Structure 1
Amino acid sequence: MGKKKINLKHKKKVLKKKVVVEEPSDVEEDIEECEEEPASEVVNSEEESDADQSTELNSGEELDSDEDEADFTYGDINEHKKSLEKLKESDPEFYKFLEENDKELLNFNLSDEDDDGEVQNESQVHVPQLDSDESDFEDEDSKGKENNITFKLLKKWQVDIKTDKSNKTINELAQALHAALLLVLPEEESSGTVSDYKVEGSAIFNGVVQLCVLEFGPAVKRFLGLVSGSKEKPHLCKKFKKVKRILKCYFEDLLKLLSGVASANIQTVLLKHLHYMSSMLISFPNVTKDILKQLIKIWGVSDEGVRVIAFFCILKISRNTQSLLDTALKTMFITYVKNSKFVSPSSLPCINFMRRSLVEMFALDLNLAYQHVFLYIRQLAIHLRNAMTLNKKENIQAVYNWQFINSLQLWGNLLSVTCSKPQMQQLVYPFVQVCLGTLRLVPTTQYYPLRFHVTQILINLSRDADIFVPVLPFIVDVLDNYDFNKKHQKVSMKPLKFNFVLRLSKSQLVENGFKDTLIDTIYDQLLEYMTIQSSSIAFVELALLTKIQIKKFLKKCKNPNYVKKIKQALDKIEQNAQFIENERKKLTINLADFKQLEAHENQIKCNGTPLSTYYESWSKMRNQKKRKEATMNDELGEYNLPTTKKRKLKNSEVKQKNKDVEFVFSDSEDDEESQILKKKVDIESD
């Protein structure tokens, strides 16, 4: 059927200056003369009427030659060339038109050797030739091939979309993305969808996505008359109705493409494009909710780079709409809790990123954040109350798990940032009480790692929010409750770390690495907490009970390494206490005036204390050590680099080499030594 269309068009062009009013019966006779092959078919009556109409449109003009000369066979090439030359002389403008649009007609040629041996005689009127019995389906095949997206078509769209003032090219690009979507989606989902175009191959797919990413957004904004950076809503523009349906389908396809693509690179490109187009999502609230859920899913489970861009999209979409922000906060917190069930070296960076981004999201609207945080802290308190009252294993496990601890870390970080705001100050006290209740629930040796996780949360809150939290007893009590003189039964192959552990096994409790890690953790948190309080005017009284407990531990502990480390911390605490006591003697202000006391403490803090100076230098060394452990520098240092080994010489080679040795004697005092060395060489060579 593709050949039928070409021949009919060609017939119209050739007969543009030649008027032949033919009867349908004459056309049928010409077709019968041309179709001598038994496998050919008779042209349909509809096509015959089309041919008659084309000749009737050109009526009223005269032929340049006789009617008999108009009928020629394609075997007579010379006559065809002569007719074209006559046409060039008689109507040069029409000949020029043929050169530009139908070069195949002018470069006409027939092959003498046909594989099928078919007779290719046709009339001058280019009667359509039927090649096979399946010709009824040729139109559909040729139409499908014409709708295949090619690089040439992509280049045409790239040029047209910058100059086209209508929505035609925008619509075509949206349909092209829909065709690309069918290539990615599984057959079950793509079976019901239809597209005007077809994408074949990864190169065309990437070309379509790249063109949409680069040109679709700016083209829509140009069409709507939106200036970059303007806060005008798209649905308020006059021309929005013309692209409303296109944009809705485009965003739906973009959503399906995000969920169907697994490549991190393509996801990154699509998310950047969505971030650019996010200002238009406000006009499509139903589609926006689905896109927001998909972005939160990507934010929770994808690669690091993809996760960051997804968070930027979430932030930009939900920032201006409270209903979307409410949905985003709920869904993001649930995603955070689901993905924080286990903590490992590989999952910890993901959990930390989600925690920081959630803090930023809650800080957008503190009135809305108060409602969410109050509800979630209340749920934690209910779990803790059930564990304390019922005292059952399943209730205790509902508290002593990573999801509960990571939730405490999230709300601790949020309150550290927003506690200065009046909306969030009321949540500090219940949160601290939940943390202290968690510490008292099961104060056994096995849960020492969990204890130090919670105390670290309270230490960070005390430092950032500048509030006093009684954490010190829970740190120092470990020195009294655990027997550090007990001999270990196993030797640790690797140092034990509490970062990824909440509960210790029985085998870990009898290793020597457990006691080492326990002393190091107590030393770290003791110094950090006392440094936070080192500028307080009440530091002397705060450190009194701590000094008593530490001295008691030093008397009964027989391990010199542990004694040395804890004694060093005690010396720094006593030195700082003496410093604060000397500063208090110089005070001339009223102790009831809290503003003057606060100003005095801030001045001491700015000038620095002995404990803060020591902790600053010590923390630099500790952080450097942690970075080495994270990057495994020690293992890299122990890596055996390849070395070149010298080849061992045989005895004959050694003798030959010794014979060739010559010593240069000098007049210095080393002449005797050189002569002795020469004699030794001569002896060895013999």
Structure 2
Amino acid sequence: VELYSLDPTVTYQHGFVFLRQLAVHLRTAIQTKKAENIQGVYNWQFIHALSLWTNIIGLLHNNKEKLIQQLVHPLTELIVGTIRLIPTARYYPLRFHCIRLLIKLTELTTVFVPVLPFLLEMFDITDFNKRHKTASLKAQYINFDTSLKLTKLQMDDRAYKDGLMDQFYELVMLYLVHYAHHVTFPELVYPLILKCKKFIKICKVQNFVKVIRGLLEKVQENVKLIEERRQKTGLNVKDAKQMNAWLEQSQQKSTSSPLVMHFGRYKSMRQREVLEDIAQKEKISQSGRSSLPDLIRPDRQVAGKQNFKSMMEKDLSDNEEEQEELFQIKTKRKHDEIEENQEEEEQDDEEEDEMEQEEEDDTDEDDEDDDEDVLPSPPKKKRHAKMSNGKSSTSNADEFLSIVKKKFDRRKDRVKDLSVDDF
């Protein structure tokens, strides 16, 4: 802005080219209605470009640069066309950004721009009597200053309508304070008074009605003050000098008007709330999560959770004991099997030795029958080892069955002791 203020002629040339390029993007989006073209307008780059040229034109307009004054109308048409491109509730944040630019343009220049119709459309688009669907923590606060459109989750939340009402109240006050001393103030706010009265009759939410009623009272007080001043002085609308003198005198007294005084209190209170919110966030970030408040739960719920926790711990301990017992039985059975295999191998070795000795005896006695190989039949295995091994295997099986039975009985008793509250 400071660089462009050095040479108004170059600023006019650049401003004409850039505003024309922005107008081409807007015209393409209006004609085609394609998502790509609309996205080329509804983005931060486009909004920041409008904001830049609003500040430049507003700064150079006070210097009475005639070339720069010619750019006020195209810039106003660009901002109004951006609002009218998609006039839906989802793009309320973008609408509020454009309205702030129009209000700033009226403050920096002497050009009158009708802003109230764009704010009053909010009552026609949004139904404030409709109940919200959710009150989630994610969408508890909607920051309209850092967004251009709203999500479906935010539009279904209770904070959505509260934020709309706050933005409406703030923007109306910001716009009317600039004309609070003007002779045409009663005629300017007449549509606003009618719309607010209708809203108070229709709306059933007392919080919203309270906000609109407070705004309506301050506006009506200011209207009465301007009407009394007009009646006392006996203004002649055709006399330009008399009108200018009255406006200068009224502007000097504007600080004592009820609307300006109320806006000053509202602004200081709003700044205090913002500072407290920032301080609270910094405090939470510095202290960390350990200082956050604990969640208070009912005693019955806590007792039920503790009982369930103790049951789970008991069940886990029982399972560990059973697993240890089963492991001991398995190791014992494995040890018994190893001993059995060793005994069987020893018996086989002994039988083989006996068979070799018998063959040698036969060969000594019957030397004549060398051609015929007569294999002796193997002797029968001794059964006393197998009998002992069978007894050990049956004892191990009985121990395993007894442990399984204990486990089943224990779980059966536990199921009987459970109730609905434990779950």
Aligned residue number for residue 593 of structure 1: 239
Q: Measured at CA, do residues 634 and 621 of structure 1 come closer, stay the same or move farther in structure 2, by a change above 3 Å?
A: farther
CA distance in structure 1 between the aligned counterparts of 2:278 and 2:6, rounded to whole angstroms = 33
CA contact 2:58–2:109 (8 Å) conserved in 1: yes
After superposition, give the CA deviation of every residue in 1:223-259 in whole Å (9 maximum; x if it has no partner).
xxxxxxxxxxxxxxxxxxxxxxxxxxxxxxxxxxxxx
Give the RMSD, CA atoms, in angstroms: 2.0
Aligned residue number for residue 516 of structure 1: 162
Aligned residue number for residue 224 of structure 2: 578
Aligned-residue offset at 1:594: 2.7
Aligned residue number for residue 12 of structure 2: 370
Aligned residue number for residue 621 of structure 1: 269
- Counterpart residue identity of residue 370, structure 1: Y
CA contact 1:589–1:596 (8 Å) conserved in 2: yes
Q: Measured at CA, do residues 492 and 416 of structure 1 come closer, stay the same or move farther in structure 2, by a change above 3 Å?
A: farther
Q: In terms of Rg, which structure is larger?
A: 2
After superposition, give the CA deviation of every residue in 1:152-183 in whole Å (9 maximum; x if it has no partner).
xxxxxxxxxxxxxxxxxxxxxxxxxxxxxxxx
Q: Measured at CA, do residues 635 and 568 of structure 1 come closer, stay the same or move farther in structure 2, by a change above 3 Å?
A: farther
After superposition, give the CA deviation of every residue in 1:56-83 in whole Å (9 maximum; x if it has no partner).
xxxxxxxxxxxxxxxxxxxxxxxxxxxx
Aligned residue number for residue 186 of structure 2: 540
Matched, 1:429 2:73: yes
Aligned-residue offset at 1:636: 5.2
Alignment of 1:2-21 (within 5 A): none
Identity, % of aligned positions: 38
Secondary structure, in 3 states, of the residue corresponding to 2:111?
Answer: coil
Aligned residue number for residue 120 of structure 2: 476
Matched, 1:388 2:25: no
CA contact 2:222–2:258 (8 Å) conserved in 1: yes
- Counterpart residue identity of residue 528, structure 1: L
Alignment of 1:186-197 (within 5 A): none
CA distance in structure 1 between the aligned counterparts of 2:124 and 2:253, rounded to whole angstroms = 35
- Counterpart residue identity of residue 605, structure 1: Q
Q: Measured at CA, do residues 592 and 636 of structure 1 come closer, stay the same or move farther in structure 2, by a change above 3 Å?
A: farther
- Counterpart residue identity of residue 262, structure 2: Y
Q: Measured at CA, do residues 637 and 535 of structure 1 come closer, stay the same or move farther in structure 2, by a change above 3 Å?
A: farther
CA contact 2:91–2:148 (8 Å) conserved in 1: yes
CA contact 2:61–2:68 (8 Å) conserved in 1: yes
CA contact 1:535–1:602 (8 Å) conserved in 2: no
Aligned-residue offset at 1:606: 1.5
Q: Measured at CA, do residues 624 and 548 of structure 1 come closer, stay the same or move farther in structure 2, by a change above 3 Å?
A: same
Where does structure 2 lack aligned partners over 5 or more consecutive residues?
292-423
Where does structure 1 lack aligned partners over 5 or more consecutive residues?
1-358, 643-686
- Counterpart residue identity of residue 447, structure 1: Y
CA distance in structure 1 between the aligned counterparts of 2:195 and 2:270, rounded to whole angstroms = 25
- Counterpart residue identity of residue 174, structure 2: E
Q: Measured at CA, do residues 542 and 367 of structure 1 come closer, stay the same or move farther in structure 2, by a change above 3 Å?
A: same
Aligned-residue offset at 1:369: 0.6
After superposition, give the CA deviation of every residue in 1:323-354 in whole Å (9 maximum; x if it has no partner).
xxxxxxxxxxxxxxxxxxxxxxxxxxxxxxxx
CA contact 2:88–2:125 (8 Å) conserved in 1: no
Aligned residue number for residue 403 of structure 1: 45
Q: Measured at CA, do residues 398 and 633 of structure 1 come closer, stay the same or move farther in structure 2, by a change above 3 Å?
A: closer
Asked which structure has the greater RCO (Cα within 8 Å, sep 6+), the reply is 2
- Counterpart residue identity of residue 191, structure 2: L
Q: Measured at CA, do residues 593 and 634 of structure 1 come closer, stay the same or move farther in structure 2, by a change above 3 Å?
A: farther
- Counterpart residue identity of residue 585, structure 1: Q
CA contact 1:463–1:532 (8 Å) conserved in 2: yes
CA distance in structure 1 between the aligned counterparts of 2:113 and 2:143, rounded to whole angstroms = 26
TM-score by length of 1: 0.40
CA distance in structure 1 between the aligned counterparts of 2:203 and 2:75, rounded to whole angstroms = 36
CA distance in structure 1 between the aligned counterparts of 2:274 and 2:187, rounded to whole angstroms = 34
Aligned residue number for residue 419 of structure 1: 61
Aligned-residue offset at 1:635: 4.5
- Counterpart residue identity of residue 572, structure 1: K
Aligned residue number for residue 371 of structure 2: none
CA distance in structure 2 between the aligned counterparts of 1:590 and 1:579, rounded to whole angstroms = 18
- Counterpart residue identity of residue 496, structure 1: I
After superposition, give the CA deviation of every residue in 1:622-668 in whole Å (9 maximum; x if it has no partner).
122223334446845996999xxxxxxxxxxxxxxxxxxxxxxxxxx
CA distance in structure 1 between the aligned counterparts of 2:56 and 2:190, rounded to whole angstroms = 32
Aligned residue number for residue 70 of structure 1: none
Aligned residue number for residue 501 of structure 1: 147
Alignment of 1:39-188 (within 5 A): none
Matched, 1:528 2:174: yes
Aligned residue number for residue 467 of structure 1: 111
CA contact 1:496–1:517 (8 Å) conserved in 2: yes
CA distance in structure 1 between the aligned counterparts of 2:14 and 2:243, rounded to whole angstroms = 36
Q: Measured at CA, do residues 466 and 616 of structure 1 come closer, stay the same or move farther in structure 2, by a change above 3 Å?
A: farther
CA distance in structure 1 between the aligned counterparts of 2:9 and 2:279, rounded to whole angstroms = 42
After superposition, give the CA deviation of every residue in 1:379-431 in whole Å (9 maximum; x if it has no partner).
11111111111111111111111111111111111111111322210000110
After superposition, give the CA deviation of every residue in 1:294-332 in whole Å (9 maximum; x if it has no partner).
xxxxxxxxxxxxxxxxxxxxxxxxxxxxxxxxxxxxxxx
Aligned-residue offset at 1:495: 1.1
CA distance in structure 1 between the aligned counterparts of 2:70 and 2:112, rounded to whole angstroms = 15
- Counterpart residue identity of residue 510, structure 1: D
CA distance in structure 2 between the aligned counterparts of 1:579 and 1:548, rounded to whole angstroms = 19
Aligned residue number for residue 612 of structure 1: 260
Aligned residue number for residue 294 of structure 1: none
Number of aligned residues: 284
CA distance in structure 1 between the aligned counterparts of 2:119 and 2:283, rounded to whole angstroms = 33
Aligned-residue offset at 1:480: 2.4
Aligned residue number for residue 129 of structure 2: 485
For 1:457, which of 101, 125, 129 is the aligned residue? Answer: 101
After superposition, give the CA deviation of every residue in 1:11-58 in whole Å (9 maximum; x if it has no partner).
xxxxxxxxxxxxxxxxxxxxxxxxxxxxxxxxxxxxxxxxxxxxxxxx
- Counterpart residue identity of residue 391, structure 1: K
CA distance in structure 2 between the aligned counterparts of 1:541 and 1:382, rounded to whole angstroms = 36
Aligned-residue offset at 1:599: 2.7
- Counterpart residue identity of residue 128, structure 2: F
CA distance in structure 1 between the aligned counterparts of 2:199 and 2:125, rounded to whole angstroms = 10
Aligned residue number for residue 569 of structure 1: 215
More helix by share: 2
CA distance in structure 1 between the aligned counterparts of 2:280 and 2:198, rounded to whole angstroms = 38
CA distance in structure 2 between the aligned counterparts of 1:451 and 1:558, rounded to whole angstroms = 26
CA distance in structure 2 between the aligned counterparts of 1:468 and 1:535, rounded to whole angstroms = 14
CA contact 1:573–1:611 (8 Å) conserved in 2: yes
CA distance in structure 1 between the aligned counterparts of 2:279 and 2:2, rounded to whole angstroms = 29
CA distance in structure 1 between the aligned counterparts of 2:286 and 2:184, rounded to whole angstroms = 49
CA contact 1:492–1:513 (8 Å) conserved in 2: no
Alignment of 1:249-264 (within 5 A): none
Alignment of 1:245-324 (within 5 A): none
CA contact 2:93–2:148 (8 Å) conserved in 1: yes
For 2:21, which of 379, 399, 404 is the aligned residue? Answer: 379
